[in-house]
Structure formats: structure tokens, C-alpha cells
Structure 1
Amino acid sequence: MLKKIIITFLVALGYLYGAFGLSKSEAAELIRVALVHNQATAEISCDSDFEVQSGSNKSILPKGKYFLHIVDGKLVMDEQHAFGSTISVHALAGKALPRLNQRSYKGYLRALADNGKILVVNYVDLEQFLASVLPTKTMVVWPDEVIKAQAVAARSYALYHKRINRNKQYDLTANDKELPYEGTGPRIEKAGVTKLIAATRGQYLADAQDLPIEAVTTSSSGGLTEAASSAWGRAVSYLQSVADYDSDSPDYKWEQRVTPALLEGQLAQRGYTVGQLNSVRLSPLDAPDDDRTTTGRVRYIILSGSAGTVKISGAELAEIIGLKSTLFDLETGTPPPETLKVPIEDRYGFEVGSKDIDIKVKEDERPVWNRLLRSYHMLSGGKEEKIIFHGKGRGTGLGLSAWGARGMVVANEKTTYAQILEHYYPGTRLVTVK
């Protein structure tokens, strides 16, 4: 009898794999992504009939648009379709995918009534998830080895969060900073990237305990990646500061000018009582103090104004005014013009055009007083006054640098994705799921 039960189970399992076109490893390796969290309602629509399962009951709903909400602790689509506290939403075989808030998702959706609010989680095959998220982190025209390295890093990151969140209702959120997820579709997925993801199928980076690593990445570090001990305040063996090769990045060097009024307004919205700014304190990159990490990134900055003084992190400052990274110097004052517009006249003295002549002041030609007390940047309140940020890199500076990986391959076309990963995540091993 026991033998018969086992055979029946194996046959059913084989049918499951065949019916959905998945291998055993694929069927098991689902990632749970929270799409809607703590909301009162969500729109579910489909261009075909679709299936809703609540407990052991299955219903086929006609194509159309429905507004999922909660009534007396139960999930309700409309007056005719009320369910329990948990439902799953599936496409019928060969039919259109159901949409959540106008976005399509592979796999299936699971909705829960969670303390009076709706939680919707997408259960999706990990490889399909990667095909959706990776195109936003890379370019199809980049070297194959770079994209493969990014695929392995993304898979490692997803598996890391799947492991640490195994007792929670989801592994990642759709707005995760490392792997933002917008579902599926031709606008999102790129065939060239998907092909290279498949070339690394099942591969991830493992730490000394053979566990998937939190393989965070950055776009460009400005020449030197950051260590987790500086960025997070805790050491991570595989997130050390290493040389970067990102000099071709468009963000290798950047400049951003901000009016004091803009910064004052953003600070006020965050609840900081500063008033009108009159000074900013930050040590210079070439003479760093405790307000910077060992690579020069800003740990904190001190802002003083008519109503008080605040100390905020470099990461928060970058977030509220949209700086590309926390690796920056700054200056204050009324900046001189970088160009002078000179009129062009014809032989009769009539203006027929103009030409811009570069007159930007070189750093070593600036007034001596502007280089004194270099950690203190004063503001006078002048109409044209600006806070000028001179920065390097884009992103946190942690982990694999996309532009740096590209630079490694450009410098040596024989560089492999395994070598890229070994450089940016020292001490890890490339593992393949059996």
C-alpha cells in the first residue's frame, strides 16, 4: 500500500512539472514579492477569464476589472464574489495573465486580509523574476560577461533574502532598492539579457558558511568601492573596499548645484528645524575627518540655520536633494559664470549671432580666503547663492560596480564573469544548484 502511495505521489509530481513546463528545481525555486502592502483596495483585471482559489474552492471569474477590498475580514471582488481571508489568483492555461493595478505578473498572485489591509504577493519563478529586474541594472549592448556577473549577483541577493525571510509572508518588496520589480512585458524584459541569465542558471555566490550572499551592487563608485563596515556599521567579509574600474562611467565625476531655499524646504518637510541656512560643515575630501568614511564618503553633515542646527547622514542628504552618491565635496557662494556670451557682428556692425567662450575659474586660481577654514561653508543669503556639490560615482558604492565590471572587460576581453565576481565579492564561491 505504501509503495502504491509513493508511486502515485511521484506520478502526480511529474504531472505538475510537465503541466507547467518547469523542471524540478524551477518548480521549487519561487520567490515571493510583495506588490501591494497595507492598502485598502487593489485593482485586479484580466483580458480573459481567470481563476480565483479560496481554500479548496475554485471560481472562474469573467474577464474584466475588479476592485479587491475587505468586508468583515473577508476579501471581496464585487457583490457576487466574496471569499475568505486568503485567495490566490491564476491565469487559465493558455490565457492572458491577470493584472494587478494595471501591471502583469508571471506566476500567480496571493492576496491576504492583513489586519484590515490588503497584502498581495506575487509567487514567481526566480529566473523569470530576474528576467524582469535585471534590464534596469544593465545594458543589452554591454559585454556578455558583465551581464552574467550581474545575473549571478542578483540571484544571490534574491536567494539571500528568501533564506532570511522564510518565516515571513514575502521575501522581497516590489520597490526593493536593489531589485525593483515592475512585472512582465516587452517594455520590461529584454531577450538578450534573458538569454545571459539562462547561461548562468542556478548559479549564486556563497559565503564561508555556504549560504547565499547579500550581493548588493552599485552603478559606479568613483574609483574605489565602499566597505560594509563603513556604510552599514558592521563588517561583512565579502563586502570590502576594492579598486574600481569605472572611469568611463558618465557619473564618474559630477556636479550639482542646489539653492539653500530648496534644501531648507526639504529639511522642513523631514521635520528638521533649521530655518534659513547660514552654514554647512563638512571636511574636505583631501583632508577627511570623522564625518567621512575611509573612502571619503560622507557619514554625516552638519547644517546650521537661524532656527537651529541639525546633523544628518550623508545618505539622507543625498536622498532628499537627489545627489548621485555620498562621495562629494562642496562649496558655497555665488558661483562665477562658466561661459561668457560674446556677440558676433557682420561687417556693418549688425549682430548675426553669438559665441560662448569658456571662462571657468580653475580650482588653484580661486581666492585664498575660499580655501581657509575648509570644513566650514558659510552662506550669506544672497539671491544667486548656491551650494555646489562636486561628486563621484552613482549609488552606494557597495559591491559589484556595473561600470567597473564593464571597465574590467574592456581592459581585458578575456575577463570572465567569475573573475568579476571574485574581485568585487572577495572570499566567496560560485555555486551551482544541483
Structure 2
Amino acid sequence: MKKVLAGAVGLIVFLVLIVPAVVIRSLFGLDPVGSPKGVAKGEDVVIRVYMAKQNQIVGMNLEEYVKGVVAAEMPAQFELEALKAQAVAARTYAVKHMATFGGEGIAAHPGADVSSDYREGQAWADEQELTARWGPLGYKVYWNKISQAVDETRGMIATYNGEPIIAVFHSTSGERTASAKEVWGSDYPYLKSVACNWDQQSPRYSETKEFSLSEIAERLGSDTDIVAAAQNGSTAAVQIAELTDSGRVGKIRIGSKLLSGGTVRDKLGLKSTNFKVETGADKLVFQTTGYGHGVGLCQYGANGLAKEGKDYQYILKYYYTGIDLTHISGS
């Protein structure tokens, strides 16, 4: 009798406590992994976007927001599977920042989850801007294509250990992506350097820029003594002192000054830190490969993989090491 009673009590505990917990977990937040965040299935997920041009915060459906990001961030002529990969990356970035899912929003604009200004996160474009870019007919064709990419990945995000990843992306890697550690100093297991041999078709794959020595001194600081060093015929006028694991410039000595590759890129307006330098009689010539910080999803690489028949899931798992693809509820 005691065994029967104990079994009955155990069954009641299971039905009262365990089953509801499982049901609640599947009804809210991330599914199948993640913490409940209060978004019920069937409800629209609303994201609060700071509209930079209007200087106001607007609430909109998450999936509609993602469409505007994909349209602004990736060429609409790209393969559908590449656009799908971009959609998942854009949605993941948004969810990572949304207060609804435990994110901290954007500090510069209290009350907003994200900003439409690419300098503060992801770019976003509305119908008026896209029509001006593509024309009325182009807008209809490309918007339908982008909508298909977003709709067919609806609610899907990239996660690592059950949490949305920092889904950074860039235009063109130039043969190899960079790790987060070598660019920003923070190590993330899913943002590792991987080979990228599919982005040579990018119009931004390589670029050459020339600077006079006086311009170098003006932009990088007169204390570089670059003019005097070059005029004296010093072979040490410019020397790459350190390369990162992905082959980008970690540190470079210009004249008497040791600078990071990132500093030189920013101050000279170079496309990337993957560059070589040649010294002329009165100038420096920079040959850059790739465009962007080089971390995470390579957009032109994604398009190249899509042309080879790879689907968006393969593309995402290639560029974001060890991730899972998870659906959020409520979308």
C-alpha cells in the first residue's frame, strides 16, 4: 500500500510541477533551448528601433525589421541561400539586444533595442530608400526575394550553449576570416578564423591607395618622423612588425612610431587591416585585400558557397564555429 501511495504521490508531483514547467518552457522564449522571456507562441515579436533619420523610437514586427536589415546590408542580387544566412545573422543580432529576450538594448538611445544607423549596429532601410536605390520595378522584385529569404527562416537564430551569438558579419574577408580575439581582444569560441576562398568576385576584394609622406605625417602624427626617415633612405621607414593569425597586420612601425593595424586602417581609411605597404620616393602605397573587420560571416563568401549549392544552414555553421540553429517562439 505504501508503495502504491508513494507512486501516486510521485505521479502527482510530476503532473503538477514537472509537466507545466516543460510546457511553459516550450511556450515562451527560446525553443528548444534558452530561458523563458515572456513571448508566447502566436504573438508578434515587437522590436523597438531607434530611427536615426527621424530621431525617434518605433516599434515594429521583428520579421519586418529583419527584411529591412537584409535589404540594407546585403546585395539583393545575391543567391537566395546567402540572403537566408544574412537573415538569420540579422535576426540573431536583434534578439541578442532585445529587452524582451534579456538584452540590454542600445545605450545611446534608452528604450530602443537597436538602431537603424549602421555605425551603431546594423543598417536598416525603408521602402522609400529602397525604391530610390532599385527603382519601382526593382523594389518589387528584390523585396519579394528578400521577403522569401526572411519568411523561410522565420524565427530562426544562431545560438551557442543556448544563448544567441554575437552575429557579426562583413563584406569581404580576403582569403581568410579573422577571429574576434585578434580584432577586438575578446575570444568567442564561435568567432574563429576560417578559410574563405569564395569572395574573389567581390568588387571590394582589393584596393590600392597612395599617400604622400606629408599626408601620412598629418594623419598618423608628426611624431612618426616618417618624412625624415624616408628622405634619409632608411629601410626601416615602414616595417610590418606583427601579423595576426589570419595574416592581417597586427602592428606596423611607421617612422619612429609603432601603431596597430586597426589604427592605421581607421586613420587612413583603408578597407581592411589585411594590407601590404610599398615605399616610394615621397609616398607610401597601401595594397589592401578584403573589406571590413573580417570577423564572422563573410557576405561574398556566403554568396560563393550558395553558388556551389550549399544551403544557409551550412553557410552559417561554416562561418560561426560550433553553433546551433534555434527557433524563438512568438514569431
Aligned with residue 315 of structure 1, among 253, 262, 267: 262
Aligned with residue 94 of structure 2, among 158, 164, 171: 158
The one-character-per-residue Cα deviations of 1:168-223 (angstroms, maximum 9, x if unpaired) are 62333332345123444334774121221122111110111x11111101111111
CA distance in 2 between counterparts of 1:258 and 1:225 reads 27
Contact preservation (8 Å) 2:92, 2:164: yes
- Closer, same or farther: CA 123–301 of 1 in aligned 2, 3 Å: farther
- Closer, same or farther: CA 31–265 of 1 in aligned 2, 3 Å: farther
For residue 30 of structure 1, report the CA deviation from its aligned partner: 2.4
Question: Gaps spanning 5+ residues in structure 2: where?
Answer: 1-38, 134-138, 230-236
- Give the AA of the match of 1:145: E
CA distance in 2 between counterparts of 1:431 and 1:387 reads 48
Give the match's secondary structure for 2:175. Answer: coil
User: 1:294 — aligned with what?
Assistant: 245
User: 2:49 — aligned with what?
Assistant: 33
1:134 and 2:134 are equivalent in the alignment? no
Contact preservation (8 Å) 1:26, 1:125: no
Aligned with residue 157 of structure 2, among 193, 204, 209: 204
1:260 and 2:251 are equivalent in the alignment? no
1:176 and 2:118 are equivalent in the alignment? yes
CA distance in 2 between counterparts of 1:24 and 1:298 reads 48
- Give the AA of the match of 2:103: I
For residue 130 of structure 1, report the CA deviation from its aligned partner: 1.7
- Closer, same or farther: CA 34–301 of 1 in aligned 2, 3 Å: farther
1:395 and 2:298 are equivalent in the alignment? no
The one-character-per-residue Cα deviations of 1:393-423 (angstroms, maximum 9, x if unpaired) are 111111111111111122x22x110000110
Mapping of residues 43-62 of structure 1, within 5 Å:
none
1:100 and 2:43 are equivalent in the alignment? no
User: 1:194 — aligned with what?
Assistant: 147
Contact preservation (8 Å) 1:27, 1:125: no
For residue 318 of structure 1, report the CA deviation from its aligned partner: 1.4
CA distance in 2 between counterparts of 1:264 and 1:174 reads 35
- Closer, same or farther: CA 121–25 of 1 in aligned 2, 3 Å: farther
RMSD: 2.6
CA distance in 1 between counterparts of 2:258 and 2:172 reads 27
For residue 316 of structure 1, report the CA deviation from its aligned partner: 2.5
- Closer, same or farther: CA 387–34 of 1 in aligned 2, 3 Å: same
User: 2:315 — aligned with what?
Assistant: 420
Mapping of residues 10-409 of structure 1, within 5 Å:
28-35=44-51, 100=54, 120-162=56-98, 163-166=102-105, 169=110, 170-177=112-119, 178-185=121-128, 186-187=131-132, 190-191=142-143, 192-208=145-161, 210-244=162-196, 245-267=198-220, 273-274=223-224, 277-279=227-229, 280-283=237-240, 289=241, 291-304=242-255, 309-334=256-281, 385-409=282-306
Q: Normalization by structure 2: what TM-score?
A: 0.72
- Closer, same or farther: CA 261–140 of 1 in aligned 2, 3 Å: same
For residue 153 of structure 1, report the CA deviation from its aligned partner: 0.8
- Closer, same or farther: CA 332–200 of 1 in aligned 2, 3 Å: same
Count of residues paired in the alignment: 266
143-152 or 123-132: which moved more? 123-132
- Closer, same or farther: CA 267–419 of 1 in aligned 2, 3 Å: same
For residue 320 of structure 1, report the CA deviation from its aligned partner: 2.2
- Give the AA of the match of 2:117: N
Contact preservation (8 Å) 1:255, 1:388: yes
CA distance in 1 between counterparts of 2:42 and 2:252 reads 47
CA distance in 2 between counterparts of 1:129 and 1:157 reads 12
- Closer, same or farther: CA 215–254 of 1 in aligned 2, 3 Å: same
Question: Gaps spanning 5+ residues in structure 1: where?
Answer: 1-22, 37-98, 102-119, 284-288, 335-384
Between Structure 1 and Structure 2, which shows a larger proportion of strand residues? Answer: 1
Between Structure 1 and Structure 2, which shows a larger proportion of helix residues? Answer: 2
CA distance in 1 between counterparts of 2:259 and 2:63 reads 39
**Greater relative contact order (Cα < 8 A, sep 6+):** 2
- Give the AA of the match of 1:392: T
Contact preservation (8 Å) 1:205, 1:212: yes
For residue 142 of structure 1, report the CA deviation from its aligned partner: 1.6
Give the match's secondary structure for 2:249. Answer: coil
The one-character-per-residue Cα deviations of 1:60-103 (angstroms, maximum 9, x if unpaired) are xxxxxxxxxxxxxxxxxxxxxxxxxxxxxxxxxxxxxxx826xx
Identity %: 29
